[in-house]
């Protein structure tokens, strides 16, 4: 598989395929044609075929796609075959929501620790983690394998905490703070901004005249 040459647009669609295929598996569906998948997902069958051709097709003429096989292959492409340790910095509304949401765990994202600078929150259990003082962050990262750090703290503190994490060797940041992080190129940053999504919806409401 030559994942490096696959366009970002295709990669962006893979989690959605993965989710649909997971649901099909839960419903006991063993195989599906690109036409059926297309109807369910509201993506054209040719788009589906084109997307899957990037990875060598997966399908068989006259049979369609083996749902479990495709699910596992896409999971592997997305790096979901192994678990990912995630720490959370900021135990407020957003940090709590993440830590309490058990579905991430099912997908292999394991929240291993949560940090905050508010002493009132220390020792509180959130999900499967106990809130630790942010001063413990350095020691924790040195002693544990931390793949992803979720930043759920105010935007004023996010750049400094991100830089510290990067200095400690963390290579992937899941950034919820509404600020652009200026980090070295080899650090992967995935920004999540619900407000931007809402603004896009607002634009579409305006555009459609409803
Ligand atoms: P919050 O105020 O409930 O929680 C923030 C937590 O961070 C607090 O517990 C605070 O003690 C802690 N904190 C502050 N400075 C810190 C530091 N230097 N080190 C460690 N902990 C520190 O805020 P909320 O509602 O959870 O929002 C968190 C962030 O997420 C904010 O930047 C907010 O703008 C952003 N946000 C992003 C959304 C998105 O779609 N990406 C949606 C909602 C909020």
Q: What is the pLDDT of residue 9?
A: 86
- In this predicted structure, the answer to whether residue 2 has a pLDDT above a threshold of 80 is no
DSSP states along 60-73: BTTTBEEHHHHHHH
Q: For residue range 86-106, what is the model confidence (pLDDT) as tens digits?
A: 999 999 999 999 999 988 998
Please choose from 90, 134, 191 the residue to mutate so as to test ligand 1's pocket, defined by most ligand atoms within 8 A of CB: 90
Ligand 1 atom nearest the C-alpha of 195 is 40
- In this predicted structure, the answer to whether residue 56 has a pLDDT above a threshold of 60 is yes
Ligand 1 atom nearest the C-alpha of 90 is 7
- In this predicted structure, the answer to whether residue 60 has a pLDDT above a threshold of 90 is no
SS3 132: strand
DSSP states along 78-124: TT-SS-EEEEEE--SHHHHHHHH-THHHHTTEEEEEEEES-GGGTT-
- Decide whether any atom of ligand 1 lies within 6 Å of the 174 Cβ: no
Q: What is the pLDDT of residue 5?
A: 67
Arithmetic mean of pLDDT over the chain? 92
Rounded to the nearest 5°, which phi and psi values hold at 98? -65, -50
Rounded to the nearest 5°, which phi and psi values hold at 50? -60, -45
Who wins on pLDDT, 54 or 205? 205
Between CA 152 and CA 31 the distance in angstroms is 40
In this structure, what DSSP letter does residue 157 have? T
Of the listed ranges 56-60, 179-183, 187-191, the one predicted with least confidence: 56-60
Q: Is 17 exposed, middle or buried (0-12, 13-18, 19+ CB in 10 A)?
A: buried
Please choose from 154, 162, 175 the residue to mutate so as to test ligand 1's pocket, defined by most ligand atoms within 8 A of CB: 154
- In this predicted structure, the answer to whether residue 59 has a pLDDT above a threshold of 70 is no
């Amino acid at each position: 598989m030559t994942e490096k040459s696959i366009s970002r647009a295709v990669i962006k669609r893979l989690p959605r395929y993965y989710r649909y295929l997971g649901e099909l598996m839960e419903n006991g569906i063993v195989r599906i044609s690109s036409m059926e998948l297309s109807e369910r997902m509201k993506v054209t069958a040719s788009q589906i075929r084109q997307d899957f051709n990037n990875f060598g097709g997966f399908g068989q003429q006259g049979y369609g796609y083996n749902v479990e096989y495709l699910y596992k292959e896409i999971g592997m492409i997305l790096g979901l075959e192994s678990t990912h340790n995630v720490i959370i910095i900021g135990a407020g509304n957003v940090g709590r929501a993440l830590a309490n949401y058990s579905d991430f765990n099912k997908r292999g994202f394991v929240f291993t620790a949560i940090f905050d600078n508010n002493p009132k929150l220390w020792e509180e259990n959130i999900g499967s983690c106990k809130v630790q003082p942010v001063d413990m962050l350095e020691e924790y990262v040195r002693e544990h394998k931390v793949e992803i750090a979720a930043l759920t703290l105010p935007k004023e503190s996010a750049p400094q905490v991100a830089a510290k994490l990067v200095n400690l060797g963390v290579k992937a940041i899941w950034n919820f703070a509404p600020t652009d992080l200026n980090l070295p190129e080899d650090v992967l940053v995935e920004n999540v901004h619900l407000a931007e999504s809402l603004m896009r919806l607002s634009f579409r409401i305006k555009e459609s005249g409803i």
